[in-house]
Amino acid sequence: MDFGLTREQAMVRGAAREFAQKGIAPTVGDDERGHCYNDKIVKEMAKLGFFGFIAPERYGGTEMGYLAATIAAMEIAKESPSYGVTFNLQMNAIQSVLLAFGTEEQRARYIPPLISADAYGCFALTEADTGSDIASMLTTAREIDDGFVLNGSKMWISGVPVATVGIIYAMTDPEKRHRGMSAFMIDMQTPGIEQCAITEKLGLHSSPTGEIVFADVRVPRDAIVGKPGDGFKIAMHMLDRTRLSCAARSAGVAEKCFDLAKHYANERQQFGQSIINFQMIQDQLARMWCEHEAAKLLVFKAAWMLDNLEKVGGRPTLQISTAKYYGAEAAVMAANEAMKIFGSYGYGTEYPIERFYRDAKSYQIVEGTSNIQKTIIARNFFEEKKG
């Protein structure tokens, strides 16, 4: 289904699908089993222009927009949720922030190498003791004459330990809580920064995740993005974009699980017939179909809104959180149902179902948990009391 995609958007989908099938699928099983992050794949994605959808041409981008970006992310995630994460690290997190809040110098310095994958990005909000409640973060940035000194640590950060640049959130005025948070664009080789990998996790084994420690890290004044105290506003802007990508990837995983399960149900014979003849299998497939179709449409709508902010007249946070919540739940549901339809073969590693089952769980956590998305959605339900 083309869903009114432009010719260019349809070409992006074709290129992403082809690359996912030819450039990622042949090695994805071995890479995941070996916990191998293959930067050649990221560089190939860069060559295809996958990290340039939101930036103008003068920085090396195409400015095709968020709908194109979500279509590409969806296709990559169908083969590898791990390499799907790179859309946020190379593009949605850092570029969107610098384009909206950065200086010309910051944009010119950081965006081109992220688009070409000569730099590897990360964004760091989460800490060991603060996840959903980001305003309680403990990492500080103390102002000094010529800049800031960062101290603290970040946990569960995608792209670590291979990140070369990062957008780091820290408190410049902790007592003011969310009004005292600031964002910094930082070279990860700055003295005092240590990156360590988290080696044991459920899935996304080709997507590095780790911890960053900041010990008296001196950064120049021009490392700050926007003004001191702008960090929370910047983080919300960023999360709208990173959540949308997450929603797109989860819709891709839901669709892939459906496709694999449908094919298997046609092939697998029990009681002298294909198991797709059994009504209970049809029920499972029908529900998986509805869930992934709904997830995809919510993603397309939210992406279209982000690309048409002047028509929409305001931030489409409600639609993005709706797509993120629904997509994550649809991916987990579809992977779970696919596991059942595949029986023992789902539990084994011959088919990728167990990998999608593990990877899909991340979508319910990252970029704000499913509960947090429901909280954001429900904020819109309070009616003003009269009188």
Ligand X SMILES: Cc1cc2nc3c(=O)[nH]c(=O)nc-3n(C[C@H](O)[C@H](O)[C@H](O)COP(=O)(O)OP(=O)(O)OC[C@H]3O[C@@H](n4cnc5c(N)ncnc54)[C@H](O)[C@@H]3O)c2cc1C
Task: Give CA 221 to chain center in angstroms.
Answer: 29
Select 21 or 375, whichever has its Cβ closest to ligand X. 375
Give the footprint of ligand X on this chain (CB under 6 A).
122-126, 131-132, 156-158, 204, 209, 362, 365-366, 368-369, 371-372, 375
**Residue whose pair of structure tokens reads 């429901």 in the numeric block:** 374
Nearer to ligand X, 141 or 281 (CB): 141
Residue numbers annotated as active site: 367
Contact between 353 and 336 (Cβ < 8 Å): no
Q: Report the C-alpha gap between 21 and 29 in whole angstroms.
A: 13
- Nearest to ligand X of 232, 264 (CB atom): 232
From CA 150, how far away is CA 165, in angstroms rounded?
15
Burial state string for 242-275 with b = 16 or more CB within 10 A and e = fewer than 16:
bbbbbbbbbbbbbbbbbebbbebbeebeeeeeeb
Sign of the CA dihedral with 78 first, then 79, 82, and 88 last: negative
**Cβ closer to ligand X: 98 or 261?**
98
Closest-CB residue for ligand X?
A: 131
Residue for token pair 């360590």: 196
| Number of residues assigned to the chain | 387
Write the single-letter amino acid at 10.
Answer: A
State in angstroms the smallest separation of the CB of 282 from ligand X.
33
Across the chain, the runs of DSSP E, i.e. the strands, are: 123-124, 140-144, 147-158, 165-171, 181-187, 193-197, 209-220, 224-225, 269-270, 273-274
Contact by Cβ (8 Å): 174, 127: no
Nearer to ligand X, 164 or 277 (CB): 164
Decide the pairing of beta strands 140-144 and 273-274: unpaired
Residue 202 or residue 309: which is nearer to ligand X going by CB? 202
